[in-house]
Amino acid sequence: MIALLAAACLPAHGAESAPRLAMEILSSRSLDGTAGDFVTVEATITNTGGQPISGVTTYLSLADTVNNLPVDLEDWSAERGLYIGTIEPGQSLPLSWKIHFVKAGGYALMIVAIAPGNDRPDVSTITHFNVLPKRSLDPGHVLPVALGEPLLLVVVLALLNYRRRAREAWPG
Confidence (pTM): 0.66
SS3 annotation, 131-154: EECCCCCCHHHHHHHHHHHHHHHH
Distance CA 19, CA 171 (A): 101
Residue type, 159: L
Report the candidate in 130, 125, 131, 132 with the shortest Cα–Cα distance to residue 61. Answer: 125
User: Which tens digit of pLDDT belongs to each residue from 77-111?
Assistant: 877 789 988 999 999 999 999 999 999 999 999 99
User: Which tens digit of pLDDT belongs to each residue from 136-158?
Assistant: 766 677 777 777 788 888 888 88
